[in-house]
Amino acid sequence: MDRSSSAGELSVRSLNGRGVPLQLKKSRSGVLLPPLSATSPGLPSTTRQLKTQPFCNNAWSHEKSYTLGHSRASFGRLEAWPGEQAEVRHAAREAAQARQQPVSTEEEAIAKKLVDLDMPHLDRITSMYIGHSFADIDGDGEKSVEEVLPTQELGNLLKQNNGGIEVNEDELESQELQQIQTGEDAIAYFAKSGSVSKTKLLYANRVETEHFAPYDLMVVPEDQVNPEYFTISATGIVHVAPGLLSECISLTEWMHQSLMFRVLQSINFFKFYIHKKVITQWCTNARYEVYCHHRQRLSRCCFFAKPTFVDSLVQVNSLVREVEEVKIMHVDQNYYTVQEFMDKQQQIRASPVNSAQKDFEQKHEAAIGIIDRLIATVQRSLQIEPAVDQLSGSKSKSMVQEKEEAREKARLQRIAKRDEDLLGDCIRVIDYMFQAALVQTAIEAVKVFWNRLDQKNAPKLFVTNVDMSDQGISLEPGKHEFIEMLFMISDGWFQTLNMLQSITCVRQYDQFCRVQHHQTVKDILLKDRTFVGYQACLQDYITSAVEDTQASANLMYEPFRPIYEFGKQWDEDAFNDKENDYDALYDQMSKMRAFQHDLDRFKLSPICGIILVNGKSLKDRLTPIPEASLNFLKNCLIGLARDKCKECYSRYDQVNKLLEERSKDLGKFANYVKMYHNVQDERADMEDLLFEVEQMYSLIREYKVRMPGDDEVVYEGLKATESDFTNKKMIEASQFIAEMKEEMALETYQRALKVEEEMKGVTEELFTGSFVDAEKIVVAHEVLEELDKILETKVKVLEERAQTFTDYEGLLGAAPQVQAEEESNGHFQFVEVAKTRKVFDDKLKLWEVTAQWQEMSHNWNVSEFVKVDVESMNKQVMASYKTANGLTKSLEGDEVAVRVKAMIEEWRERMPCILDLGNPALRPRHWEKIFKKINLAYKGPTSVSSISLTQLEGNGIFDHREYVSEVSANASGEFALEQSLEQVIAAWADLELPIMNHRNQKDLWILGDLQDVITLCEDHGVTIATMMGSRFIHGIREKVEIWEKRINQAADVIDEWYTVQRAWMYLENIFSAEGVLATELRLLMALTLPDVQPFETR
């Protein structure tokens, strides 16, 4: 049977909503088609009688294959029923294999005949599968059988059935049966043929393989079946076994169980279950055998099974217990400094009289003695002869007895020799026991230390001193010293225990055992987790205790830091160099007294856990600071009180003397009155100073300081002088001023009138001579010098005198004549002084403006015009005109002011034309037009740089103001366009074309994101278009048109480049592939585009 047709049937669920199961059979070529039975719905009655034949794909044209594929897709959705997934997958694999296998020669001939023949019924079936209505297939309306298929036409159709080729069904079935070999082939056969097949039953045996495969069957003839065999039919598979009931199973269930078995076989647990079970049993037996071997070997080598070694080992064990009881650490309930604690532990370990080291040495010597006795015993056993049998009465021995004695002697010699061989191991065991005892001693020591600390409310054990520094409160010893103490104690233990020589290293035992690398007790302890753990606990506990003590010390003693800082910063010489007053001394002395009160609350010996803090040394260090400072401040207070007292006495005495000096001269009397008023103003300060002196002496008495006798005398003199000042001198001075005040006020009034007359003469002088001569404008500097002379010799002198008399009037009061005037407001008014000063200031400003204008106008006229700042010129002209206009109003009728205003106004009218000429936007082409207009020869840019305003004025430039204004406006418009064009040019000058690497290839680059470039093209295109529409474009049109062309060209190039790049990227795989097409494309590109470089960079 052909493999291509051995697949089983596929279940199909129709999409018509009725869920009618159909069957898809597979032809020899692998095409799945539904069978056409007599009950198939939707077929003409005559067509239903036709038997569907298998089709060959090779006989179909491409168009018919495509049509059939679509008909199958539209017919229904393939869905395997439950339990048939394995059959479906197997059928699919068989179909795929069948499509790959070549068609036999016979099938090719049949297919060729089918193609050559005209078979209209196949066309009808194809149309039915495509989904056309039967009206389209059969024609219009219902027809009878004779109308659909006439008799003659039906006959021709029957002749053409199956292409006119006769098929022998029995021969085909026989060929299929011959190809059935396995159980799967048989199941596939019955699944395809079903009950239609003539063969109803096949026999099969299990395949004999190394692995368990119950579902692998081999089809055999009936006469070759084994006692246990299987029968396969369309109804199912029957398992027949001798002595057992037969078992029947359906084909679908058999395939399902076979698939599940194969799936389970692929799981590692089931796949290797037997292997694992065998290995597990082997490992168990091997371990037991090893255990038995070691148990027997141990029984031969165990020392406690040897009578010779038992006594010695028991003695060593007792000795080891004594070693473990030796104490190398002693901690009681007392407290020590760190050094005292270390000294005590050192004494316990290595005291000359009674120490742990001596006990260890004694125990070590005892152990060596036990080993020596053991060695002697073993060596004697080598020399012992076997005892003679006393039961034998005759002295002669038989040969049997002699042989027995010889064997017994040899046995005893072997035992003794074996014991001698075990001496080395025994010595090593004793050494290990002794070392273990030493290790245990160290562990017990560290445990004792830990138990002393790890108590609830553990009593104090250590004492530490507290000190204060810039870094803070410090403990002495601190955390570092405590940790170092722990390490030194541990090193002491190691040193004590390592001083004992290892028993295996004793020279007399070299013949029995020799250890190459001996491990010391220190090495063992450093690797012991218990010892290291206790050490870490001790270190953490003591570290924590010291840190807690440090924190407590900070809280207790940090409040006294101000005393420490004061003592550190206190400098008596620096304090003396400063000017200290009573308040400063009072504050410092109060602070020292507060320090002393704080030190009374100082804690001398606080306890923090296991540490006692000794603060006595810190208090002894801090106590002298406030005491010494307070004594020094007392001396400073005495000295300051003495100086203040003398200063106050001197001031009162000096004021009393000044109040006695009385005079009737106006100037001296005015100074006397002024002094009197100053004394009145300073009287409060003098009283404050006196009060401060009294406070100092009161503070001296408060601190019980003894004051020198001379200071007492000065203090009494101060009190007497102050009483004289208050009760006598001030009263007499007040009476004298009241008597002379009216007379002195009248004299002041008369002198003030004289100043007014002199100032009036100065005013008249300013309105005569060169000060009002317009011809002096050209020599304005000389007039300014005359004005400066009048200012220094007359105006300032008279103003000073007027101010002096005004001050006198303020001290003495106004004269009766002044008070009688209504407009005086009680004060003499220097009207002429103010008026003259106003006139002088206007005159001075006028001639200053005149001199300044002469100088500026001359510079503007003769300087190169292109270098003149016309904006600054305009500001100066406006400012000068404003000043001149104001002066013509204040100096009404002054010819000089009128002349100067006219000169400036004339220049002001020309300023618009000058501003147009100074326009920075003017270019040589504009100047050429201006020069041509005023009939001035233009010789290039040098003509503009050398011309002056005087030359322009001489050629009548101001007669063509409108023309100049028009040229300047055009120049400004062109300048704005040039600026915009320069911005466009600058933007493209610094623009970089974004490229990026393509697919991480070394020499292959493509365009990146050009969104910014495209936006720039669009913006600049709009800008260029706007410029082209401006009326000022005429001067730069050529340059703008060039850039308009460039921007448009850039936009077009980017668009084309993007188009080519997208096409190239789409066809890149073809271009880069090695093949005929790629080679032809490269040749074509080389012929048609020889100058075009590829995207790859060279």
Query: How does pLDDT run across 854-912, given as a tens digit for each residue?
Result: 888 888 888 877 788 888 888 888 888 888 888 888 888 788 888 888 888 888 888 88
**CA–CA separation, 918 and 366 (whole Å):** 124
| Residue carrying structure tokens 């990146």 | 1008
| Residue carrying structure tokens 């040899």 | 410
Q: What is the mean pLDDT of residues 97-116?
A: 52
Q: Taking Cα atoms as reference points, which of 507, 531, 508 lies closest to residue 521?
A: 531
Q: Residue 674 is encoded by which pair of tokens?
A: 């002024």
Enumerate the domain spans of the chain. Answer: 1-166, 168-269, 272-301, 302-386+400-545, 628-766, 772-978, 992-1088
Q: Residue 371 is encoded by which pair of tokens?
A: 């080993």
Residue 115 has pLDDT above 60, yes or no: no
- Looking at per-residue confidence, does 24 or 331 come out higher? 331
Which pLDDT value is given to residue 991?
79
Which pLDDT value is given to residue 395?
58
**CA–CA separation, 43 and 137 (whole Å):** 10
Output the CA–CA distances (angstroms, integers) from residue 220 to 8, 205, 386, 406, 936, in the order listed.
21, 7, 84, 79, 132
Ranges of H-type helices in 217-355: 251-266, 268-271, 273-301, 307-324, 338-350
Q: What is the mean pLDDT of residues 657-663?
A: 82
Confidence of residue 843 (pLDDT cuts 50, 70, 90): confident
Residue 68 has pLDDT above 60, yes or no: no
> Mean of the per-residue pLDDT values for the chain?
77
pTM: 0.42
Residue pair 952/865 in contact (Cβ under 8 Å)? The answer is yes
Q: What is the mean pLDDT of residues 608-617?
A: 88
What proportion of the chain, given as a percentage, has pLDDT over 70?
80
Which pLDDT value is given to residue 105?
55
Residue 841 has pLDDT above 80, yes or no: yes
Q: Which fold has domain 992-1088?
A: Butyryl-CoA Dehydrogenase, subunit A; domain 3 (1.20.140)
What proportion of the chain, given as a percentage, has pLDDT over 90?
8
Q: Residue 80 is encoded by which pair of tokens?
A: 């395997």
Confidence of residue 321 (pLDDT cuts 50, 70, 90): very high
The pair phi, psi for residue 465, each rounded to 5°, is: -90, 150
Query: How does pLDDT run across 1024-1049, given as a tens digit for each residue?
Result: 888 777 777 777 778 888 888 888 88
Which pLDDT value is given to residue 136?
45
Confidence of residue 226 (pLDDT cuts 50, 70, 90): very high
Which pLDDT value is given to residue 865?
78
Which pLDDT value is given to residue 93?
58
Q: What is the mean pLDDT of residues 253-281?
A: 89
Output the CA–CA distances (angstroms, integers) from residue 746 to 50, 711, 813, 817, 831, in the order listed.
162, 51, 10, 8, 19
Q: What is the mean pLDDT of residues 906-932?
A: 80
Query: How does pLDDT run across 748-767, given as a tens digit for each residue?
Result: 888 888 888 888 888 887 78
Confidence of residue 332 (pLDDT cuts 50, 70, 90): confident
Residue 164 has pLDDT above 90, yes or no: no
Residues 738-747: contacts with CB within 8 Å, 24+ apart?
A: 740/664, 740/669, 741/673, 741/812, 741/813, 744/666, 744/669, 744/670, 744/808, 744/812, 745/809, 745/812, 745/813, 745/814, 745/815, 746/815, 746/816, 747/666
Q: Taking Cα atoms as reference points, which of 233, 241, 234, 179 lies closest to residue 214?
A: 241
- Looking at per-residue confidence, does 210 or 682 come out higher? 682
Which pLDDT value is given to residue 194?
75
Residue 45 has pLDDT above 50, yes or no: no
Which pLDDT value is given to residue 62?
36
Which pLDDT value is given to residue 103?
46
**CA–CA separation, 697 and 718 (whole Å):** 13
Query: How does pLDDT run across 271-302, given as a tens digit for each residue?
Result: 888 889 999 999 999 999 999 888 877 767 77
Confidence of residue 230 (pLDDT cuts 50, 70, 90): very high
Residue 75 has pLDDT above 60, yes or no: no
Confidence of residue 8 (pLDDT cuts 50, 70, 90): very low
Q: Residue 76 is encoded by which pair of tokens?
A: 């229904």
Q: What is the mean pLDDT of residues 15-22?
A: 36
Q: Residue 897 is encoded by which pair of tokens?
A: 């002011």
Directed axis angle between helix 780-790 and helix 831-862, to 10°?
A: 160
Q: Taking Cα atoms as reference points, which of 20, 24, 27, 26 lies closest to residue 36?
A: 24
Dihedral class, residue 514 (left if φ above 0, else alpha if ψ from -120 to 50, else beta): beta
Query: How does pLDDT run across 382-391, given as a tens digit for each residue?
Result: 776 655 444 4
Range of weakest confidence among 21-30, 333-342, 467-476, 697-706: 21-30
- Looking at per-residue confidence, does 312 or 517 come out higher? 312
Which pLDDT value is given to residue 27?
38
Query: How does pLDDT run across 528-578, given as a tens digit for each residue?
Result: 999 999 999 999 999 999 999 989 989 988 898 898 888 888 888 888 888
DSSP state of 127: H
**CA–CA separation, 801 and 268 (whole Å):** 128
